[in-house]
Amino acid sequence: MTAGAADLDLTADDTVLKWLNAVEYHRDLDKQRELNAAADAIPSDAQRAIFLMAIMDKAMSVVTIADMVEGLRDRGGKEIQNG
The pLDDT tens digits for 7-63 are: 678 888 998 998 888 888 888 888 888 888 777 778 888 889 999 999 999 999 999
- Asked if residue 22 lies in contact with residue 38, where contact means CB atoms within 8 angstroms, the answer is no
Domain residue extents for the chain: 8-76
- Give buried/exposed letters for 44-66 (b at 16+ CB in 10 A, else e): eeebeebbeebeeeeeeeeeeee
Average pLDDT over residues 67-80: 80
Check residue 51 and give its pLDDT. Answer: 92
**Is pLDDT at 65 greater than 60 in this prediction?**
yes
> What's the confidence (pLDDT) of residue 49?
93
Assess whether pLDDT exceeds 90 at residue 66: yes
